[in-house]
Amino acid sequence: MEILKIVIIGGGFSGAMTAYHLLRQEQVACAVTVVEPNELGLGLAYSTTCEEHLLNVCAGGMSALSDEPDHFFNYAKEKDPTVKITDFLPRKFFGKYVQELLSSAVSEKADFHSFDLVSQRAVDIEDAESRGLKVFLSNGQALEADIVVLALGNLAGGKPAWLDQLPMTNTHYIHNPWNKVAIDTIQKTDSVLLVGTGLTAVDKVIELTSQGHVGPILAASRHGLLPRRHLDIPDVHPQQVNLNGDRQWQSSALEALKYVRQLASQAAHWQAGVDSVRSITQKWWGNLALKEKRYFMRHLQTYWDVHRHRMAPSIANQIEATEKSGQLRILSGGIKRLCANDQAKIEVTIQERYLEPQTFLVDYVINCTGPQLKLKAIDSPLMANLHKRGLIAPDQTGAGINCEASGMICDQQGRLNPRLFAIGPQLKAVLLESVAVPELKGQAQELARLICNMQKTITA
């Protein structure tokens, strides 16, 4: 039996579940290798050790298996009979669930499959075309593959422009908000500036306050918008809209916004109106003109994100209480100046809209601006090398890489490479919604099926 050699770069949710589905199928013999330097199955989202970091979707909506919608809830119920389907559970608990799923697939795999975990970083890929791909690792070794899947998750950027005169090496600047060692150096009375007001900033407020932090926290972003809150008892499986062939709402990003607003106003709760378009969002996005996609990303993306990716009710309560106490202050505006001063503090000037610039002295600055999707700005040796080789190219929207909705990647000449695939955030330009479990679980299953269907073409 011909064996298909598949290397998955990245072992977070997307990489782990792609491996899971490849090992569970019985049509094609697969040698699956996952390249992941950190703990398998966790990624950034579920590697947190903070118990207060909760999932942003309730237990009933977090199954990792598309054909078993209550799988995660049943798993959680077995661990704790008091768990309700509407509960928002700790992210670290979900990470263990993913790990156990993959572990079960590895232990129960057919004899003609193999699985290997390589605890290294991938730094480059060479395409020998008919001879397959070669994945180069940080330790100098190389892996041969018929197919490579980039399951890289959310990628960080390099030095942001707003950092201004402050070097990234300054010990009072934390570029990676998930660097627990750096976060733990913050004293309880220190003043902190969070650059960004999205879910990452929310996580940092929760993490700091759970550790007894009492110092002032500033959070600044261009719009100054926090994620909205889920209903206290969310609708686990919200009713989805039926367009009945009506394509008028697809004509522009603004028309779509009006359509969603209409649904939200007609629903008992606006959350239901927003959630009712989840099943058609990717189709809508795929039919939208490039000009409209760019308009959406520039002008509407933030408003969509804060309503679409919401806070668990208990988290929203904590954030609201921290704001009311005066410890947390949200600013809407841009950073005009940022530098170190003589007192080992950081001096930051923020220009809020319609107001005079304000200057603050803070002990720490944490970059909470979220993942970077512009290819040239991503801080990744692997992506930089793939770009230099011409194996990947930026999408025309400026977000993610040029690829098909299936994940098959286009090179810089616009040619599809049937050996190279992506899954997750790098597909934002073609799918829009490509970061949350409800979408990623379907991507992983379909990608595994596509890879197996291509076996004859690849190994011929």
**Nearest 5°: CA angle at 390, between 387 and 392?**
60
Residue range 319-378, pLDDT digits in tens? 999 999 999 999 999 999 999 887 779 999 999 888 889 999 999 999 999 888 898 889
Q: How far apart are CA 459 and CA 155, in angstroms?
A: 32
pLDDT exceeds 80 at position 456: no
State the pLDDT confidence band at 247, using cuts at 50, 70 and 90.
low
308, 337, 359: which is the final residue of a domain? 308
63 falls within a domain: no
Residue range 378-427, pLDDT digits in tens? 999 999 999 999 999 999 999 999 999 999 999 999 999 999 999 999 99
Residue 217 near residue 194, CB atoms below 8 Å: yes
Q: How far apart are CA 436 and CA 428, in angstroms?
A: 11
pLDDT exceeds 90 at position 250: no
Question: Quick one: 303 and 387 in the same domain?
Answer: no
State the pLDDT confidence band at 41, using cuts at 50, 70 and 90.
very high
- Give how many domains the chain has, as a whole number: 3
For range 435-442, the mean pLDDT: 92
Question: Quick one: 96 and 185 in the same domain?
Answer: no
446 falls within a domain: yes
Question: Quick one: 315 and 425 in the same domain?
Answer: no
Question: Quick one: 380 and 446 in the same domain?
Answer: yes
Q: Of 81, 92, 117, which Cα lies nearest the Cα of 42?
A: 92
- What is the percentage of the chain residues whose pLDDT exceeds 70? 97
Question: Quick one: 189 and 165 in the same domain?
Answer: yes
Question: Quick one: 151 and 175 in the same domain?
Answer: no
Question: Quick one: 282 and 416 in the same domain?
Answer: no
Answer whether 0.85 is exceeded by the pTM: yes
Greater confidence (256 vs 58) lies with: 58
| CATH number, domain containing residue 103 | 3.50.50.60
60 falls within a domain: no
84 falls within a domain: no
109 falls within a domain: yes
24 falls within a domain: yes
**Structural domain boundaries, residue 181:** 161-228+311-367
77 falls within a domain: no
pLDDT exceeds 60 at position 292: yes
pLDDT exceeds 60 at position 285: yes
Residue 173 near residue 339, CB atoms below 8 Å: no
pLDDT exceeds 70 at position 458: no
134 falls within a domain: yes
> Do β-strands 217-221 and 328-340 pair in parallel, antiparallel, or remain unpaired?
parallel
Q: How far apart are CA 23 and CA 35, in angstroms?
A: 16
pLDDT exceeds 70 at position 7: yes
Question: Quick one: 21 and 114 in the same domain?
Answer: yes
Question: Quick one: 323 and 192 in the same domain?
Answer: yes
Q: How far apart are CA 125 and CA 128, in angstroms?
A: 10
